[in-house]
Structure 1
Amino acid sequence: MIEKIWFNNHPLKYLMWPLLWPLSLVFAHIARKRKAGYLAGKKTSYRASVPVIVVGNITAGGNGKTPVVIWLVEQLQALGYNPGVVSRGYGGKAPSYPLVVTNETPTDYSGDEPSLIHRRTGALVAVDPKRPAAIRALEAKGVDIIITDDGLQHYPLQRDIEIVVVDGQRRFGNQQMLPLGPLREPVSRLDSVDFIITNGGEAQEGEMAMSLTPSDPVNLHNGEKTLLSELDSLVAFAGIGHPPRFFKTLETMGAKPVYTKAFADHQAYHQNELEQLAQQGSHLIMTEKDAVKCHQFAQANWWYLPVTATFSESDTQQLLNRIKKVMEEYGSSST
């Protein structure tokens, strides 16, 4: 219901406005004061020994940041760099921090997105609610550039490039601050970032258009691939920031799921609930982000759909040229 108020102009907004508006003012005041303290040097912020790229957003919820992080890592690896990724590990709770993710790290410890990034790219990924501590762990392992998955508002960490990902369909909703609206910071914050990436929808002036290109479904049980058209009586579920985006992708590819189920972002899954869900059809399909939490108890008819961020060649070069310039200023060079 709260998202309908934020993004769909639901009539309930007239009831909720008097309740949420004062809280929104308080949130905005605290956020401004906290940011000002770091920018003025009154609060300590960490300057890494290598360049830091923040991939974040100004709205609550998922906008497609993680595919952008994966794309950046793969682009930088192709150029000969050794990138590392840091995350606060939302949805996970590790016995101790910082946590450097491996293929054996439970998602209960790392959270789903850090596990996905590491599995997909092989890059070093460190998790810590205090991102500077995660960065120190990666610095000790010799990375030459660091990407943070989220963290635009994490001002204890200094950064060299700021990238904001915008949901091209939902944009900024009612453009109100939390909790009255979805904004973590005002829309004017976009004036000070380096790049704005629009995930789907219509990219506006000054924005880079991004699309998520799906690949063939992958079987969780044995890693084999198949054509989506081969999966009949399909049951689809997603626990991401905006599940309808996943269902729409399936429809665009020609699939007609017999049943769909949306879960909360970063949902922790239990074997029994997914087995019951799978009984609604012949095959169960999920996002790659969901899959990292389901491998241990996956059945033979469970699949995930990989997606890859794609950009125009000119936008790709613009991003990479900026990164190369920053690397040169740090005295680093690619091999």
Structure 2
Amino acid sequence: MAISKSQQFFESLWYRPAPWWLWLFLPLQLLLRLVVFTRRLFYKLGVFRSVKLSKPVVVIGNISVGGTGKTPLAIYLLQWLMEQGYKPGLVTRGYGGTAENYPLVMDDDTPPEISGDEPYLIYHRTKARLVVDPVRSRGGQTLIDLGCDIVICDDGLQHYALKRDMEVALIDQSRELGNGWLMPMGPLREPPTRLEQVQMTLVNGTDMTLEPQTIKGVGHTQPLTSKFVNGVAAIGNPQRFFDTLIQQGFEVLPHSFPDHHQYQGADFTDIEGPVVMTEKDAVKCHHFSEDRMYYLPVETRLTPEAEAALQRQILNLLQYN
């Protein structure tokens, strides 16, 4: 089902001047701040156990809810590292997957409903070693046992049970940090000061961009000829995808679904005309695809300065480990 109007309304409050009644949630925000502070302190003091792996760990994450471009950046890093002759692996929680046993080592036969949409997409785009495991330290160790010499942790900035050698935080340029408050008053999982502790912060829209590639059919090769399309997205920031389609010259009727939504054929019954979705959405639609369904793949492009800085730091990790 599509995102309800009430969901859209409350999320929109985080990215515009807030009404007075939003302050009623102040006690909950303060409680979350206390929980975040206490949790980090307990890991620092050793009250909670944090596992150090024998190979470098690079965490990609954000401090806000919603999409910031973590998956495309993970794909970029895996592809670049393999081009340099390394054997990277990626560990991820696999949100939305239904695996009964972990760690789950991805292979060509693992369906997206088992692994989750993002692991499926990353694996099939890169063919890198990929393990799905809510216990990321266990998943990371599995990657090392499989021969990986560096572990990329997708969306693990707040997963302190796994020690990391480098943290890369992503911010969406169009949304930034919203009103700067923690949930439920705002979109943040941790205070903005958390960004002072990461090794690198990338802004999706300035330091990096997601460049559209050629639109492809979902399970078919028919070309898209219409300039009117139904934009379909179940990602953290669907408007960014719709804006991309508009920039490509399409007239777009948007259809938003909850992030990681598990599509069914019935979701498209009332949608007339051609459909263009994200690649992450498309992997979940192959078993009921129609000739009117398409997806728009994207490639990560970093500015020369950001690319050089990111690559230099990762190569330094590999050199001294």
| TM-score, normalised with respect to structure 1 | 0.90
What residue is the counterpart of 2:63 in the other structure? 58
Following TM superposition, by how much is the alpha carbon of 1:160 offset from its aligned partner in structure 2, in angstroms? 0.6
Q: 1:165 and 1:173 mapped to 2: Cα distance?
A: 14
What residue is the counterpart of 2:6 in the other structure? none
CA contact (8 A) 2:208 2:300 kept: yes
What residue is the counterpart of 2:193 in the other structure? 188
CA contact (8 A) 2:166 2:199 kept: yes
Q: Does 1:265 align with 2:259?
A: yes
Closer, same or farther in 2 for the Cα pair 1:15/1:314, shift >3 Å? closer
What residue is the counterpart of 1:42 in the other structure? 47
What residue is the counterpart of 1:206 in the other structure? none
CA contact (8 A) 1:217 1:225 kept: no
What residue is the counterpart of 1:96 in the other structure? 101
- Which stretch shifts more, 34-43 or 210-219? 34-43
Following TM superposition, by how much is the alpha carbon of 1:161 offset from its aligned partner in structure 2, in angstroms? 0.8
Q: Does 1:137 align with 2:142?
A: yes
Q: 1:296 and 1:112 mapped to 2: Cα distance?
A: 14
What residue is the counterpart of 2:5 in the other structure? none
What residue is the counterpart of 1:212 in the other structure? 210
AA aligned opposite 2:308 = Q
CA contact (8 A) 2:235 2:260 kept: yes
AA aligned opposite 1:170 = R
AA aligned opposite 1:214 = P
Moved over 6 A (4+): none
- Of the three residues 13, 24, 28, the one matched with 2:33 is 28
Q: 1:137 and 1:52 mapped to 2: Cα distance?
A: 13
Following TM superposition, by how much is the alpha carbon of 1:42 offset from its aligned partner in structure 2, in angstroms? 2.1
Q: Does 1:152 align with 2:157?
A: yes
What residue is the counterpart of 1:320 in the other structure? 311
Following TM superposition, by how much is the alpha carbon of 1:9 offset from its aligned partner in structure 2, in angstroms? 2.2
Q: 2:300 and 2:40 mapped to 1: Cα distance?
A: 31
CA contact (8 A) 2:227 2:249 kept: no
Q: 1:275 and 1:97 mapped to 2: Cα distance?
A: 36
Q: Does 1:3 align with 2:11?
A: yes
Q: Does 1:250 align with 2:255?
A: no
Following TM superposition, by how much is the alpha carbon of 1:252 offset from its aligned partner in structure 2, in angstroms? 0.5
Following TM superposition, by how much is the alpha carbon of 1:296 offset from its aligned partner in structure 2, in angstroms? 1.5
User: 1:122-164 CA deviation, whole Å, 9 max, x = no partner?
Assistant: 1111111111111122111111111111010110000011000
Following TM superposition, by how much is the alpha carbon of 1:313 offset from its aligned partner in structure 2, in angstroms? 2.2
Q: How does 1:166-205 map to 2 (within 5 A)?
A: 166-200=171-205, 203=206
Q: 1:176 and 1:46 mapped to 2: Cα distance?
A: 30
Q: 2:64 and 2:309 mapped to 1: Cα distance?
A: 25
Following TM superposition, by how much is the alpha carbon of 1:40 offset from its aligned partner in structure 2, in angstroms? 1.7
Q: 2:320 and 2:228 mapped to 1: Cα distance?
A: 55
Following TM superposition, by how much is the alpha carbon of 1:220 offset from its aligned partner in structure 2, in angstroms? 1.2
List gaps (5 residues or longer) in structure 1.
Answer: 204-208, 331-335
Q: 2:177 and 2:315 mapped to 1: Cα distance?
A: 31
Q: Does 1:241 align with 2:236?
A: yes
Closer, same or farther in 2 for the Cα pair 1:225/1:322, shift >3 Å? farther
Q: 2:290 and 2:270 mapped to 1: Cα distance?
A: 12
Following TM superposition, by how much is the alpha carbon of 1:175 offset from its aligned partner in structure 2, in angstroms? 0.6
AA aligned opposite 1:58 = I
Q: 1:232 and 1:169 mapped to 2: Cα distance?
A: 25
Q: 1:217 and 1:307 mapped to 2: Cα distance?
A: 9
Following TM superposition, by how much is the alpha carbon of 1:275 offset from its aligned partner in structure 2, in angstroms? 4.0
Q: 2:45 and 2:277 mapped to 1: Cα distance?
A: 45
AA aligned opposite 1:247 = F
AA aligned opposite 2:159 = H
Following TM superposition, by how much is the alpha carbon of 1:235 offset from its aligned partner in structure 2, in angstroms? 1.5
AA aligned opposite 1:261 = H
SS, match of residue 270 in structure 2:
helix
CA contact (8 A) 1:56 1:151 kept: yes
SS, match of residue 275 in structure 2:
strand
Q: 2:131 and 2:305 mapped to 1: Cα distance?
A: 31
SS, match of residue 248 in structure 1:
helix
What residue is the counterpart of 1:295 in the other structure? 286
Q: 2:85 and 2:222 mapped to 1: Cα distance?
A: 29
Identity score, percent: 40
Closer, same or farther in 2 for the Cα pair 1:214/1:50, shift >3 Å? same
Following TM superposition, by how much is the alpha carbon of 1:195 offset from its aligned partner in structure 2, in angstroms? 0.8
Following TM superposition, by how much is the alpha carbon of 1:225 offset from its aligned partner in structure 2, in angstroms? 7.7
What residue is the counterpart of 2:3 in the other structure? none
User: 1:33-63 CA deviation, whole Å, 9 max, x = no partner?
Assistant: 1111111222211111111000000111111
Following TM superposition, by how much is the alpha carbon of 1:10 offset from its aligned partner in structure 2, in angstroms? 4.5
Q: 1:225 and 1:306 mapped to 2: Cα distance?
A: 16
